[in-house]
Amino acid sequence: MTAEILTIGDELIIGQVVNTNQAYIAEQLNLINIRVARMTSVGDVMDVILEAFRTAWSAHDVVIVTGGLGPTHDDITKKAVCAFFDSDLVSNDAVRRHIQELWKPRNMPWTPSSEEQTMVPRKAELVENPVGTAAGFLFRDGAKRFIVLPGVPYEMKEMIDRSVIPHLAPLAGGMAIRHRTLRTTGIAESMLAERLGDIDTLLQGGSLAFLPAPTGVRLRITVLDRDPETAEQRVREIEERIRARAEKFIYGIEREELEDVIGRILSERHLTIAVAESCTGGMILHKLTNVSGSSAYVERGVVAYSNRSKTELLGVPDELIRVHGAVSGEVAQAMAAGIRRVAGTDIGLSTTGIAGPTGGTEEKPVGLVWVGYADAAASISVKMQFGGSRGIIKERASQAALELVRRRILSIAVDLP
């Protein structure tokens, strides 16, 4: 069973917004064994939309369309769908009640655009939108399905999860496909490839993709097999062979972020952490606190940009900053030990560096970052040099600092990055 995902909107075609909907839908379809053959984006132009409908609907079993269902004038997908399936629009009472219900607590007035939102194609089945005003539609032709959803990501996701996937899953069958993603950090793609060695020996019929990002390289294993359990087993075997060669660089699996892994490790060991950030400017704390339940182990954090705040909040001696400079291993170490002491936590973590684009010198260039780590046993600092924009340097430094925590707690040798 194959599918095409068709995303509609001028904002996509002119590059105003990044298309996150495609990836989400593709992933969900893939999990229920529907192979996405193609993903297409077109603008809000009637002829182009209709042509894309024709191409997709003639070639695939499932077509999922998102975008252009909103209340504003530039949204023409509903009209295009009506033209394509030769349907007219009728006002739907269930949709009307739903919108009234949604707006009641917010005291929103009923407007012409609210009225417009109640109109749905007569020939379609409704796909409920529990979190927004734009309803979705479903057309069927035998086992084929043409599904239209709003483009607002969190609305689309709710509808995919609650309605679309449960509807399509029973229709899909055949080969079982199994994936596993191993997330690495602190090693370049080519070095990782060399370390894994001969690829055929490693994979034995499976496949492996290298997915590099500023925070590390993800390795995605894929196995296809008639039998789901065999596919599962072969994925596990490939994973074991990879782990045998690169275990220490693998911090997590699937969608796990390093902060999720650290959260789990800290929780299990009843450890607490406090963070003193300079060049990363709050990003480490932001990442750590993205994890639900992080208030149990993140006692506090400070963003100590100024020298004065390093002294006042963390007790870093003036003298140390004067002699070594704010960007130095000595200061990183003193910041980590300082935040650990004032917060009374098990672990103190710190960063100090030059995120750029200005402020670099010959001796201390943009991208130079010292990470400090303190626990009951010792305080250490590690020097790193990153490339890229301010945002990428902040991201890489944050990831490297978190990886230092993981390695110290798990007693893995530190040779970052």
User: Which of the residues 279 through 318 are near its own copies (CB under 8 A)?
Assistant: 280-290, 292-295, 298-306, 308-309, 312-313
Q: Shortest approach of its own copies to residue 30 CB, angstroms?
A: 5
Name residue 307's amino acid: N
- By rule CB under 8 A, what count of residues binds its own copies? 108
Using the rule CB under 8 A, is 126 a contact of its own copies?
Answer: no
Name residue 108's amino acid: M
169 vs 193, which CB is nearer to its own copies?
193
Q: Scanning residues 11 to 30, which ones bind its own copies (CB under 8 A)?
A: 11-20, 22-30
Q: Is 8 exposed, middle or buried (0-12, 13-18, 19+ CB in 10 A)?
A: buried
Q: Scanning residues 180 to 199, which ones bind its own copies (CB under 8 A)?
A: 181, 188-191, 193-194, 199
Contacts of 286 (CB under 8 A, 6+ apart): none
Query: Distance (Å, rounded) from C-alpha 380 to C-alpha 408?
Result: 10
What track of x and - describes contact with its own copies for positions 235 through 254 (by CB under 8 A)?
--------------------
Hunting for tokens 């209340």 — which residue is that?
A: 71
Q: Shortest approach of its own copies to residue 43 CB, angstroms?
A: 8
Using the rule CB under 8 A, is 38 a contact of its own copies?
Answer: yes
Q: Scanning residues 368 to 407, which ones bind its own copies (CB under 8 A)?
A: 387-392, 394
Specify the stretch interacting with its own copies by CB under 8 A; choose among 5-13, 76-84, 227-235, 240-248.
Answer: 5-13
Burial 109-132 (b: 16+ CB within 10 A, else e): eeeeebebbbbbbeebebbebeeb
81 vs 397, which CB is nearer to its own copies?
397
238 vs 298, which CB is nearer to its own copies?
298
Specify the stretch interacting with its own copies by CB under 8 A; choose among 43-51, 122-130, 237-245, 399-407.
Answer: 43-51
Using the rule CB under 8 A, is 33 a contact of its own copies?
Answer: no
Q: Scanning residues 206 to 225, which ones bind its own copies (CB under 8 A)?
A: 207-213, 218, 220, 222
Beta-ladder partners of 148: 65, 137
26 vs 123, which CB is nearer to its own copies?
26
CA-closest candidate to residue 153, choices 137, 134, 140, 172:
134
- State yes or no: cis peptide before 357, omega within 30 of 0: yes
Specify the stretch interacting with its own copies by CB under 8 A; choose among 68-76, 79-87, 165-173, 404-412.
Answer: 68-76
Contact 92, 120 (CB under 8 A): yes
Specify the stretch interacting with its own copies by CB under 8 A; choose among 86-94, 139-147, 356-364, 372-380.
Answer: 356-364
Alpha helices per DSSP H over 136-227 = 153-159, 165-168, 189-196, 199-203
Q: Is 173 exposed, middle or buried (0-12, 13-18, 19+ CB in 10 A)?
A: exposed
DSSP 145-156: EEEEE-S-HHHH
Other Cβ atoms less than 10 A from the Cβ of 373: the count is 25
Using the rule CB under 8 A, is 39 a contact of its own copies?
Answer: yes
Name residue 339's amino acid: I
Using the rule CB under 8 A, is 100 a contact of its own copies?
Answer: no
